[in-house]
Structure 1
Amino acid sequence: MSNMFFYQLKLFLFFIFYLGLNISISIAQTAQNEQYLEDLSNMRMVVLLLIAFAFVIMFGLIYVVKSHRELKHQYTIIDKQKNEIAEKNEELAFSNDSLEEMNTEKNNVLSVVAHDLKTPLGNIQGLVELINLKKDKISKDQSDYLDLISKVVTDGIGMVNNMLDVHKIESELKEMVLIDTNVYDIIEKVIKLHEPSMMAKNVQVNVGINNRDLQINTDAQYLRQIISNLFSNAVKYTPKGTTVEVEVSENDNFIEISVSDHGNGISSDQMKRLFAGYKKVAENVEKDKVSPGFGLLITRRLVDKLKGKISVENKVMGSGAIFKVELLK
């Protein structure tokens, strides 16, 4: 189509040039005086202007056609990219659906395994307690082995409960119940819960809170579990005969709860994956201690559900780590 256009344009220009030439010759042949010569000059000027105008139109049309071709090429590229993006989005959506199905299946499997493990572990714990009722009939070594079995079973039940908690949180099986909750009361209950482990290590606790009547609108069960998990880790990793500090500060919009210990601290590499799952946290952990693993994972999930933030850092002065939780009032 464009080739035909240029061919017709050339014929048009040739016609104008031919017409102007014939007019000039005709006027020259019939010119009798100066008036005819002047007319001839004017006519030539008109012809030249017509030719110049025709060239302007021709170059303008050439530019328009060329621009149109370039735009058409660009639109073709854009359409191709749109199609590629749409295909990638479909692939990502399919992959996302597959991952969600796999994650749901994984959670279901973990839940079933945890439930199945909880029953035999509970039976073992019950049998150990029955035997302990007749401690006077067994030797000291046997009694020590029973205590060791009891501790292992207790840790195992704790791990199973953590797995079930992860499943409940990820499956959103528990709805949040937001009520006005006294923060100091929650801290006191957590400390009372962990008194046996604190006494076993001769660990003291210092609570720093200016307003013991401080209340926030939150899920009391979630808040208790968050503080309990952090406090349990602090007691676990702080050396014997030291202290664990729990401090609460507030401003107009939020509160900050910090739990710190006097352990070995956390390396920068470990901090990057601290809340990712079942990872060992502290350096040089004693062999009989269980890694926090699911506890910190659960803590992070609970904080996220409460629209809060959780962070960890090592103490500037001295050893130990500080976990900080920021929650809206």
Structure 2
Amino acid sequence: MTVVLFMIIIIFIVVIWIQYQKIIVRNKHLVYIHGKLKTIIEKKTAEKLLVMTNDQYLMKILTDINDLLYKNQKTIANHKKTEEELKKMLSNISHDFKTPLTVILGYIEILQMNQELSKEERMKSLKKVQNKTVELLDLINKFFNLAKLESGDQDVPVTKVNLSEVCRKNILSFYDILANKNIEVEINIPKDNVYVLGNEEALNRVLNNLISNAINYGYEGKLIGLDLRVEDEYVYVDVWDKGKGIDEIHKQKVFERLYTLEDSRNKAFQGSGLGLTITKRLIELMDGEITLSSKPYDKTVFSFRLNRISY
């Protein structure tokens, strides 16, 4: 009896000692986790918590903490990116506003100070002032439109739209410009009308911008095209040109706010860097997607996809 009792006491002591050792190890891990977590948060590093342990509960806590750290680091990265974009936007806005305003002020000073200008010269100067004023107003409207789109203030209701007719109308609206620049056009639209779930006004803006870009940036190829492709569930519109193209390093950035294509395509044409951003937002609001593929002097294609309506 005494032996049995002694053995029970020994076993009990061993169990308590083992539990005590586990508690000591867990406490060491918790102290390390607390210190490491504090360092990561204070220094805003991209580290993760790594602890070698067989403690299942501690492993679950570590997994949850690392998930939170990942989300926090992602939020910080997005915040930094947004800050950089805002700085760039303010810089570009200042530059884009300053250029036409400087021209306008210059011509106004000429008109005020030079009283010997002929009527014809005055009319030419006033015409240039008008053009720059329209350009500035267009830029301001683009900023407001993009702000409305990104804040969700602009409603883009979708309904059944005859995309075939919208495509024909938009490419024909550029007929005079294309003829003056001696640019050939290839149009591939199915004979039967193609219908999509979209917004006609938004589609007009999208196509107008894509065709304008094809002309302004790809005119060197002397050929642009518009293809309308139909699949079971989706409809695709390709606007393409045979111009200089877009380098690989620019492809992922062309849809960013205020990212212009001057460096990669036609430096003679100064864009605001807002058109493609607005285009992308409008396509997304119609539950669509837009992509870019480019092979310099072979084919540069902006392609967007919309949901097909077959009834």
After the TM superposition, which of the residue ranges 196-205 and 179-188 deviates more from structure 2? 196-205
Determine which of 217, 225, 233 is the counterpart of 1:237.
217
Q: Give the 5 Å matches for 1:272-291.
A: 272-282=252-262, 283=264, 285-287=266-268, 289-291=269-271
CA contact (8 A) 2:163 2:195 kept: yes
Q: Write the mapping of 1:1-329 to structure 2, written as runs, cut at 5 A.
A: 51-71=6-26, 74=29, 138=120, 148-149=128-129, 151-239=131-219, 242-282=222-262, 283=264, 285-287=266-268, 289-291=269-271, 293-315=273-295, 318-329=297-308
Q: Following the alignment from structure 1 to structure 2, what is the Cα–Cα distance between the partners of residues 65 and 299? A: 65
SS at match of 1:138: helix
- 1:155–1:65 CA distance, 2 compared to 1 (3 A): same
Q: Deviations over 1:240-286 (max 9, x none)?
A: 68221111112222211111112111112222321112233153525
Q: Judging changes above 3 Å, is the alpha-carbon distance between structure 1 residues 173 and 53 closer, same or farther for their aligned structure 2 residues? A: closer
Q: Distance in 2 between matches of 1:153 and 1:195?
A: 26
- Measure the CA separation in 2 of the matches of 1:216 and 1:252: 12
Partner residue of 1:14? none
Report which structure shows greater RCO (CA 8 Å, sep ≥6).
2
Matched letter for residue 20 of structure 2: V
Query: How much does 1:76 deviate?
Result: 6.4
Relative to 1, partners in 2 of residues 1:319 and 1:143: Cα closer, same or farther, differing over 3 Å? Answer: farther
SS at match of 2:219: coil
Q: Is the 2:209–2:275 Cα contact (8 Å) retained in structure 1? A: yes
- Worse-matched range after superposition: 65-74 or 76-85: 76-85
1:278 touches 1:293 (CA, 8 Å); kept in 2? Answer: yes
Larger CA deviation: 245-254 vs 75-84: 75-84
DSSP 3-state at the match of 1:169: helix
Q: Deviations over 1:5-49 (max 9, x none)?
A: xxxxxxxxxxxxxxxxxxxxxxxxxxxxxxxxxxxxxxxxx7666
Any stretches of 5+ residues in structure 1 without a counterpart? 1-45, 125-135
For the structure 1 residues 143 and 286, does the alpha-carbon distance in structure 2 shift closer, same or farther, using more than 3 Å as the test? farther
- When you count helix as a share of all residues, which structure comes out higher? 1
| CA deviation map 1:195-220 (0-9, x unaligned) | 34223312232221225411111122
Aligned CA distance change for structure 1 residues 82 and 212 (closer, same or farther; 3 Å): farther
Aligned length: 251
The letter for the 2-side match of 1:231 is: I
The share of aligned pairs that are identical, in percent, is: 18
Structure 1 residues 279 and 68: alpha-carbon distance in aligned structure 2, compared to 1, 3 A threshold: closer
**TM-score, reference length from structure 2:** 0.65
Q: Which moved more, 1:307-316 or 1:149-158?
A: 149-158
Given that 1:183 and 1:212 are in contact with CA atoms closer than 8 Å, whether structure 2 keeps it comes out as: no
User: Are residues 249 and 292 of structure 1, via their aligned partners in 2, closer, same or farther at CA, if it must alter by over 3 Å?
Assistant: farther
Structure 2: 5+ residue runs without aligned partners?
Answer: 42-64, 108-117
CA distance in 1, matches of 2:275, 2:130: 21
**Cα RMSD for the two superposed structures:** 4.1
Q: Give the Cα–Cα distance (whole angstroms) in 2 for the partners of residues 69 and 155 of structure 1.
A: 72
